[in-house]
């Protein structure tokens, strides 16, 4: 029996002794081994042993949620006492609820035991490759971590899920330098359960290194024009996520401000676009298995051929609005590939930007965005002309989704999502 299960059994007894009839809780233990590099040298090794416990206590239809990292007997007693106090202070609201009985299950995912020596070898191999093949690139900071955890989740309807997981994560923060010339920063990373491929071949690492070296002589655009943005997979994923959270998530559906609140079954994006949450896709390293409300996680089509299929609704939001709950509280995003290669997409653009970074805030409820195009290149007559600096993009998220002109056959997988390149027209691109 796992240690966390023993603690959970003890917690059940305490809950029973406090006569709490309706509840849900999750307890977890985790361990992190993290290697930190600065300017290409190993600088710090960090170990973190962490615990977490959170409980939702219901007194009638009043709900209180509390959490903490002390799962000793004393800590668990405090969690219960705080949970009761929080529930007592809450308002009656029958929309707060927990999932019905989902049965019992144990999930095992990823690399449950690390090979730290191999991990360090892969990092050193990566550093050597960058030094040899990308001499102008400086790896300012890099983090390689192995995380593993064991969690258990139970509720008063009888559900019990236990999870064991482990994964490697590697990220880089890079710039390029040549004499006194320095580029801006760029970042990327990936998670993986195996160490069987060199890191240079993972996710978009090679593309990022190539593009930062090509960014040493950026040009500040003058004037403005309406053009096409060719989004790299990381940016395309970001635009889709911003659209879903802005136009179709719980808060905006509850208060009625979400632009897509009445658009289920309607065309909200180009028919070229199909988007789903696929936690069981083999390319996703650590897909969600149980939702925050206690449901067994399910796959979910969000947009199919441009048609909105569902909203991202929590159980509370679903109860509040009388709409169906989404049995998926993660964001394991998979975007279906298109029918053109990246090269064909590039060749078809008269004037626009290859968008490698979006420096801007979360757009407001109306979807208007205004951001600085980072790590980006001017496209003219189907070819990349130069890197750009001090260049802004302005438009509306909803319009970008509708104005998608092409999606690439190639997809990039970073362990958390699988996304192709996406081109969209009608974005205002401006400089000084």
Partner 1 sequence: MLQDIIRSKTELFADGVQTVLRGHENRQRSVTLLKGNLVNNGRSEAKGISARVNNNGTYGFASIAEYTPEAAEKVIKAATENALFLGRHSGRNIVLPASLGTGFIDLNDTIVDTEQKQIIEACKALDSYVVEHCPNLTSRTISYTEDSQDRIVYSSDAFSGHLVTPRCYIYVMMTAETKDGTPVELFKALGGYGSFHDNFDNLEQYHSDIDDLYKKIMDKREGVFAEAGYKTVVLGGMMGGMLAHEAVGHTVEADLVRGGSVAGPSLNKRVASDLVTMVDFAHTYNGERAPLPVYLDDEGTKAVDDVLIKDGILVGYMNDRETAQEFGMQPTGNARGWGFGDEPIIRMRNTCILPGKNTVEELISSVEDGYYLIDSGNGQADLTGEFMFGVTCGYEIKNGKLGRALLDTTVTGVAFEMLKTVDMVSNEVTWSSSGFCGKKQRMAVGMGGPHMRCKIMIGGR
Q: State which of positions 336-395 bind partner 1 (CB under 8 A).
A: 359-366, 368, 370-372, 374, 389-390, 392-394
426 part of the interface to partner 1, by CB under 8 A: no
We find the least distance from the C-beta atom of residue 94 to partner 1, in angstroms, to be: 12
65 part of the interface to partner 1, by CB under 8 A: yes
Q: State which of positions 80-99 bind partner 1 (CB under 8 A).
A: 82, 85-86, 88-91, 93, 95
6 part of the interface to partner 1, by CB under 8 A: no
Q: State which of positions 15-54 bind partner 1 (CB under 8 A).
A: 32, 35-36, 38-39, 41-51, 54
The residue (of 43 and 383) whose beta carbon lies closer to partner 1 is 43
Count of residues that interact with partner 1, criterion CB under 8 A = 80
**Given the rule CB under 8 A, which of 106-114, 145-153, 255-263, 334-342 is the region that contacts partner 1?**
255-263
**Given the rule CB under 8 A, which of 60-68, 234-242, 323-331, 333-341 is the region that contacts partner 1?**
60-68
CB-based burial, 5-20: b 16+ in 10 Å, e otherwise:
eebbeebeeebeeeeb
Return the HEC string of the chain: CCHHHHHHHHHHHHHHHCCCCEEEEEEEEEEEEEEEEECCEEEEEEEEEEEEEEEEEEECCEEEEEEECCCCHHHHHHHHHHHHHHHHHCCCCCCCCCCCCCCEEEEEEECCCCCHHHHHHHHHHHHHHHHHHCCCEEEEEEEEEEEEEEEEEEECCCCEEEEEEEEEEEEEEEEEEECCEECCCEEEEEEECCCCCCHHHCCCHHHHHHHHHCCCCCEECCCEEEEEEEECHHHHHHHHHHHHHHHHEHHHHHHCCCCCCCCCCCECCCCCCCEEECCCCCCCCCCCCECCCCCECCCEEEEECCEECCCECCHHHHHHHCCCCCCCCCCCEEECCCCECHHHHHHCCCEEEEECEEECCCCCCCCEEEEEEECCEEEECCEEEEEEECCEEEEEHHHHHHCEEEEEEEEEECCCCEEEEEEEEEEEEECC
We find the least distance from the C-beta atom of residue 74 to partner 1, in angstroms, to be: 11
We find the least distance from the C-beta atom of residue 274 to partner 1, in angstroms, to be: 27
Residue 74 sits at φ, ψ, to 5 deg, of: -65, -45
We find the least distance from the C-beta atom of residue 258 to partner 1, in angstroms, to be: 9
C-alpha 361: how far from chain center: 16
For partner 1, which residue of 61, 257, 319, 329 counts as binding (CB under 8 A)? 257
The residue (of 341 and 430) whose beta carbon lies closer to partner 1 is 430
We find the least distance from the C-beta atom of residue 350 to partner 1, in angstroms, to be: 21
67 part of the interface to partner 1, by CB under 8 A: yes
The residue (of 32 and 193) whose beta carbon lies closer to partner 1 is 32
**Given the rule CB under 8 A, which of 78-86, 196-204, 267-275, 279-287 is the region that contacts partner 1?**
78-86
For partner 1, which residue of 224, 261, 296, 351 counts as binding (CB under 8 A)? 224
**Given the rule CB under 8 A, which of 68-76, 192-200, 305-313, 327-335 is the region that contacts partner 1?**
68-76
Q: State which of positions 270-309 bind partner 1 (CB under 8 A).
A: none
**Given the rule CB under 8 A, which of 181-189, 191-199, 325-333, 337-345 is the region that contacts partner 1?**
181-189
Q: State which of positions 117-176 bind partner 1 (CB under 8 A).
A: 120, 124, 138, 140-141, 143, 173, 175
We find the least distance from the C-beta atom of residue 41 to partner 1, in angstroms, to be: 5
212 part of the interface to partner 1, by CB under 8 A: no
């Amino acid at each position: 029996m796992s240690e966390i299960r023993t603690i959970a059994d003890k917690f059940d007894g305490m809950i029973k002794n406090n006569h709490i009839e309706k509840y849900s809780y999750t307890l977890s233990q985790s361990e992190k081994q993290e290697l930190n590099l600065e300017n290409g040298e190993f600088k710090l090794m960090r170990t973190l042993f962490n615990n977490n416990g959170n409980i939702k206590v219901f007194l009638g239809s009043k709900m209180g949620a509390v959490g903490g990292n002390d799962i000793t007997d004393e800590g668990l007693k405090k969690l219960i006492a705080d949970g009761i106090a929080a529930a007592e202070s809450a308002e009656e609201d029958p929309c707060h609820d927990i999932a019905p009985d989902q049965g019992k299950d144990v999930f095992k995912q990823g690399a449950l035991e690390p090979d730290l020596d191999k991990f360090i070898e892969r990092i050193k191999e990566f550093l050597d490759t960058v030094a040899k093949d990308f001499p102008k690139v400086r790896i300012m900071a890099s983090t390689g971590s192995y995380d593993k955890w064991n969690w258990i989740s139970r509720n008063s309807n009888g559900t019990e899920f236990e999870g064991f997981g482990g994964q490697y994560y590697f990220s880089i923060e890079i710039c390029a330098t040549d004499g006194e010339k320095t580029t801006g920063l760029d970042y990327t990373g990936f998670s993986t359960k195996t160490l069987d491929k060199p890191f240079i071949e993972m996710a978009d690492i090679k593309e990022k290194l190539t593009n930062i070296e090509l960014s040493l002589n950026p040009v500040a655009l003058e004037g403005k024009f309406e053009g096409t943005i060719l989004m790299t997979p990381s940016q395309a994923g970001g635009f889709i996520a911003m659209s879903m959270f802005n136009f179709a998530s719980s808060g905006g559906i509850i208060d009625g401000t979400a632009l897509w609140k009445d658009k289920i079954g309607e065309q909200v994006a180009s028919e070229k676009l199909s988007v789903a949450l696929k936690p069981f896709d083999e390319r996703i390293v650590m897909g969600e298995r149980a939702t925050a409300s206690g449901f067994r996680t399910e796959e979910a089509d969000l947009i199919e051929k441009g048609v909105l299929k569902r909203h991202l609704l929590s159980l509370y939001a679903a109860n509040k609005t009388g709409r169906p709950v989404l049995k998926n509280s993660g964001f394991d995003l998979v975007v279906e590939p298109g029918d053109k290669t990246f090269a064909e997409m590039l060749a078809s653009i008269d004037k626009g930007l290859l968008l490698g970074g979006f420096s801007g805030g979360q757009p407001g409820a109306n979807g208007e965005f205004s951001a600085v195009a980072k790590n980006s290149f001017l496209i003219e007559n189907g070819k990349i002309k130069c890197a750009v600096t001090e260049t802004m993009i302005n438009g509306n998220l909803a319009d970008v989704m509708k104005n998608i002109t092409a999606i690439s056959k190639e997809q990039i997988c970073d362990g958390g999502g699988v996304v192709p390149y996406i081109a969209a027209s009608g974005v205002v691109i401006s400089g000084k």
